[in-house]
Structure 1
């Protein structure tokens, strides 16, 4: 057997979600979140997240997601809760702020202040989000990994 160095997984470039019609998906997500498009075709749209993106792809055919989901980091979790309520989107029962889009994609809303995920200072500047910081729990988790962040 040949020995080789395995690559280390270090993050995500993007998440791809299968949806119905692209314009319908952009309208739905536009009722919930403020975002900029990175690009769009008839079958795909790319929601910019600074140094990452969400790809919306036309053509979802599978059943709704149950446990499978992704955590979408937002600058203000309570504003997201209000936007979901205002749009009439049902929140899934449980300890987290989860919902399903009209195509069955399950999304968990996570506040930037409460996760280890950290945008680089230059990315925060480019996104006009330099005011964001971490809460004490997230700072502790980061420090325990040797990734301490400054005061928020």
Structure 2
């Protein structure tokens, strides 16, 4: 677990890459788990699944989020289906889920949108976290 102190509160978080058992587009997914220190029973669990691109409406079929491969913990928005690492997309947006500033933005967003770790009795689970990316800018221009 990694630690962040944000607004005088201590949060612990981790990121993991995993593969879906059932999928249509891609088996790759990233998981972020964040909890407020001393409130381990009420974490937020964010699942970023490339599979959820089908839920997001874009103008071009090639526009999609690429999740976690070939760089674990990184999500790309690509209009070519390729990443900058693959050398075929020099204008893609990236989100590095390994960066503390990205985690702070996620904490702020979800605290303002329903996550209350001090009063919750269970996990706050978001299975389609890619949809949230339409509302909060976590990207870095490459």
Q: Same fold (TM over 0.5)?
A: no
Greater share of strand residues, 1 or 2? 2
**TM-score of the pair, normalised by structure 2:** 0.24
**TM-score of the pair, normalised by structure 1:** 0.23
Greater share of helix residues, 1 or 2? 1
Which is bigger in relative contact order (C-alpha 8 A, separation at least 6)?
A: 2
